[in-house]
Amino acid sequence: MDVYPDSQRVSDPEERSMKRILLIEDEPEVRLLVEATLTFRGFPVLSCESGTRGLEEARRGDFQLVLLDIMMPDMSGYDVLEALRADKRTAHLPVVLLSASSPENEVERMAHLGVIKFIPKPFDSKSLGLEVAHLLEEIADESPG
Amino acid sequence: MNPPVDAETLSRLQAAYVATFPDKLQRLEQCLEKEDWANLQRFGHQLKGSGRAYGFPKLTALGADIEEGAISRDRAALKGLCQELSAVMNAVRHERQEVSNAP
C-alpha cells in the first residue's frame, strides 16, 4: 500500500528543522491514515514503522509530540516509552498512546510513564486531528518562554 | 468544521486499503489452515484497529470477533468469520467497482 510519495512521508529538509510529531506505528494502513490526517491539518510528521527506529529518531530529532502504538512486534509501545523516559534526551517528550486494546489494566502504568493521552483504535480521523491540535496547543501553553 | 483529510486523499487511501482485501483473506485462510493462533489474533487486532477508521465499521466488528476467536482457539467460529469477512470484503469491492464504473 503506497499512496504517498516519500517526500511527503518523511518531511523535507526545511520541515526537518521544525518541531514535528513523531509517529511510531507498525501497521502501514493506520500509519498512512494518521500521516494523511495530520499532514492535512498542517502538522509535519515523521513516521517510523518500528519501535527501534522510532527510538533512534526520537533521540536525534526535535519533536513536539510522540504518537506511539502499543502492540508492535519488535518492541512494545511500553518498551519504547520506558526507553524514552530513561534517556535524558527524550525523557521530557509528551507521549500519546494508540491501541486497539482496552487500557483498563494499564492506567497506573500509563500514569507512571507520563502518558498524556490514550487514543483507542479505530479512531475517527477527524477526532484524531482535533485531539492532536488541542494537545499541541496545551503543550505550547505549558512550555516555558 | 474541517474534514479529516481532503476527499481525493481519502479516496486514494480507501482504494489502497480495499486493494489489500484479497491478500488479507488469503493470509487469514492460511493462518486458519495452519492454526497459527498468534497471527490470527494479530490479524484480528489489526483489522479491528483499521476498518472503521477507513469507513468500514463491519470490518472492525469482524476483526474484534476474529481476535476473540483466536484467543479462545475456536476453529469453527473462525471458519465462519472467515466466510463472513470474505462476503463483506467482496461486497465492498463490488460496490466500489460499480461506483467507479458508473457513467
A63-119 per-position pLDDT tens digit: 999 999 999 988 999 999 999 999 999 999 999 999 888 777 788 889 989 999 999
Q: For residue A145, what pLDDT is reported? A: 57
The domain spanning residue B60 has which CATH number? 1.20.120.160
Interface of A with B in 77-116 (CB under 8 A): 99-101
Task: Note whether residue B62 is domain-resident.
Answer: yes
Query: What's the domain count of chain A?
Result: 1
Read off the pLDDT of residues B2-11 as tens digits, 9 standing for 90 and up. Answer: 456 777 888 8
Interface of A with B in 116-145 (CB under 8 A): 121-126, 128-129
Q: For residue A11, what pLDDT is reported? A: 44
Read off the pLDDT of residues A19-71 as tens digits, 9 standing for 90 and up. Answer: 799 999 999 999 999 999 999 888 999 999 999 999 999 999 889 999 999 99
Task: Note whether residue A31 is domain-resident.
Answer: yes
Q: Establish if B6 touches chain A: CB-CB under 8 angstroms.
A: yes
Query: What's the domain count of chain B?
Result: 1
- Sheet architecture: strand order including A63-69: A45-48, A20-24, A63-69, A95-99, A115-120
pLDDT score of A16 more than 80? no
Q: For residue B3, what pLDDT is reported? A: 57
**Dihedral of the alpha carbons of A130, A35, A28, B70, in degrees to the nearest 10:** -10
pLDDT by position in tens, chain B (length 103): 445 677 788 888 999 999 999 999 999 999 999 999 999 999 999 999 999 999 899 999 999 999 999 999 999 999 999 999 999 999 999 988 877 777 6
Task: Among B5, B6, B49, select the one facing A122 at the smallest CB separation.
Answer: B49
Task: Note whether residue B2 is domain-resident.
Answer: no
Task: Among A99, A123, A129, select the one facing B53 at the smallest CB separation.
Answer: A123
Interface of B with A in 67-96 (CB under 8 A): none
Q: For residue A142, what pLDDT is reported? A: 80
Task: Note whether residue A142 is domain-resident.
Answer: no
Task: Note whether residue B93 is domain-resident.
Answer: yes
Domain containing A73: what range? 10-136
Cβ distance of B2 and A3 shorter than 8 Å: no
Cβ distance of A3 and B49 shorter than 8 Å: no
Cβ distance of B53 and A71 shorter than 8 Å: no
Confidence of residue A123 (pLDDT cuts 50, 70, 90): confident
Minimum distance, in Å, between the CA of residue A145 and any CA atom of chain B: 30
Q: For residue B1, what pLDDT is reported? A: 43
Task: Note whether residue A141 is domain-resident.
Answer: no
Task: Note whether residue A143 is domain-resident.
Answer: no
Task: Note whether residue A144 is domain-resident.
Answer: no
Domain containing B50: what range? 7-101
Task: Note whether residue A145 is domain-resident.
Answer: no
Cβ distance of A32 and B3 shorter than 8 Å: no
Q: Are residues A15 and B3 in contact, defined by beta-carbon separation less than 8 angstroms?
A: no
Task: Note whether residue B1 is domain-resident.
Answer: no
CA A62/CA B77 separation, integer angstroms: 48
Q: Which chain B residues have a beta carbon less than 8 Å from that of A101?
A: 45
The domain spanning residue A16 has which CATH number? 3.40.50.2300
Portion of chain A with pLDDT greater than 70, in percent:
86
- Closest Cα to residue B26, out of B39, B11, B45, B12? B39
Q: For residue A9, what pLDDT is reported? A: 44
CA B69/CA B35 separation, integer angstroms: 11
Task: Note whether residue A5 is domain-resident.
Answer: no
Q: For residue B103, what pLDDT is reported? A: 67
Q: Which chain A residues have a beta carbon less than 8 Å from that of B5?
A: 36-37, 40, 125
Task: Note whether residue A103 is domain-resident.
Answer: yes
